[in-house]
């Protein structure tokens, strides 16, 4: 059976190199090419590729955001003009990557690795880690969510709070609710801890939305939000929240 590949890059000429290198391999079938992140997610969910060659800097969604939204478990090779330094994290996570420009030998080696790994690597779980590493510790400024066939972008200043639901997080944003496959702790580690506070095992709150804090019982508080919603605050959550709330 042929390995079915999707090429994702916003530059026509960059896609052409990848196409050319792939053409030398008879066992690879090119399913299509996407020129931006939205297209990539859409094509991936329709065509279900086994292999995605993914550019990192792209319009709309970057490579990490696309990776996080990929369904199934395609093998992913990042193709990027990033410098080596930023990519040390990739080594740690055994995701293969190609540095532009790359040689035929290097390309073929990456392809071999991807063939062996196809279907075995839960690539999507790595996305937050890779993204954090590539951003060199800078906190996230938006979250992308796959909402049926559509991709939604949630700018963080529109996010009210996040609620954990098993392996998912429920994002509450200006009256809308979006479900994303990620754990609350993983999301928490990507957010700026001065703006987004883990107030409870199951909740992260956007500090700007907080109107007041009410004490229910000795060790239990409630956060009242701008739109009237009430969220439970645990004891440790209160200890985290109080100093920031007093400062604000």
Partner 1 sequence: MNHPVLARRGRLIPYLLLWVLMAGLIAAPTRMQGCTWLESLGLALPMALLGAGIGLMPYYIARFMPAGRTPMARLSTVWCIAAIVDGAFWVAAGSWISARLLSQLPGLSRLPHITAQALPFLWAFGVLLYLACAAFYYLLLAQDQAEEAEQARLRLQMLAQDAELKALRAQLNPHFLFNALNTISALTSVDALRARDMCVKLSDFLRRSLGLGERAAVALSEELELCRGYLAIEQVRFGQRLRLDWQVEPEAERALLPPLLLQPLVENAIKHGISPLPEGGEVRFEAKLDGAWVRILLENPVDSDAPRPQGLGLGLRQVRQRLLGRFGEQAAFEAGIEEGRHAVRLRFPFQTEQP
Site of interaction with partner 1 (CB under 8 A): 10-14, 16-17, 20, 35-36, 38-39, 57, 59-60, 81-83, 99-102, 141-142, 153, 155-157
**Which CB sits closer to partner 1, 21 or 121?**
21
How long a stretch of residues is the chain? 248
- Between residues 57 and 185, which has the closer beta carbon with respect to partner 1? 57
Beta strands in 104-240 (DSSP E): 142-147, 150-155, 159-165, 168-173, 176-181, 196-200, 203-206, 210-217, 220-225, 230-233
Provide the minimum distance between the beta carbon of 1 and partner 1 in the complex, in angstroms, as a whole number: 29
What's the min distance (Å) between Cβ of 215 and partner 1? 35
Tell me the C-alpha distance between 240 and 223, whole Å.
13
Distance of CA 133 to the CA centre of its chain: 12
CB of 226 to partner 1, least distance (A): 20
C-beta closer to partner 1: residue 206 or 234: 206
CB of 49 to partner 1, least distance (A): 20
Closest to partner 1 by CB, 85 or 212: 85
Say if CB 106 and CB 98 are below 8 A apart.
yes
Q: How far is the CB of 59 from partner 1 (least distance, A)?
A: 5
Beta-carbon contacts of 205 under 8 Å, excluding residues fewer than 6 positions away, are: 161, 196, 197, 199, 223, 225, 231, 241
Distance between CA atoms of residues 72 and 53, nearest Å: 15
**Closer to partner 1 by Cβ: residue 99 or 244:** 99
Asked whether the beta carbons of 20 and 9 are under 8 A apart, the reply is no
């Amino acid at each position: 059976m042929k390995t079915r590949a999707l090429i994702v890059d916003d530059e026509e000429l960059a896609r052409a190199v990848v196409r050319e290198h792939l053409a030398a391999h008879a066992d690879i079938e090119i399913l299509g090419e996407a020129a931006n992140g939205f297209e990539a997610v859409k094509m991936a969910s329709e065509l279900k590729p086994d292999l995605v060659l993914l550019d990192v800097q792209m319009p709309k969604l970057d490579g990490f955001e696309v990776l996080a939204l990929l369904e199934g478990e395609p093998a992913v090779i990042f193709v990027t003009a990033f410098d080596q330094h930023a990519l040390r994290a990739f080594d740690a996570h055994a995701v293969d990557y190609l540095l532009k420009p790359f040689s035929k030998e290097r390309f073929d080696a990456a392809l071999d690795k991807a063939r062996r790994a196809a279907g075995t690597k839960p690539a999507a779980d790595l996305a937050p880690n890779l993204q954090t590493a590539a951003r060199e510790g800078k906190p996230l400024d938006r979250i992308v969510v796959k909402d049926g066939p559509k991709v939604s972008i949630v700018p963080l200043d529109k996010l009210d709070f996040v609620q954990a639901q098993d392996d998912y997080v429920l994002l509450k944003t200006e009256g809308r609710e979006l479900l994303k496959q990620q754990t609350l702790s993983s999301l928490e580690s990507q957010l700026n801890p001065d703006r987004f506070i883990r107030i409870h095992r199951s909740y992260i709150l956007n500090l700007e939305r907080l109107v007041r804090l009410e004490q229910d019982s000795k060790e239990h508080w409630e956060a009242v939000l701008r739109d009237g919603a009430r969220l439970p605050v645990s004891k440790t959550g209160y200890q985290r929240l109080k100093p920031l709330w007093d400062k604000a």
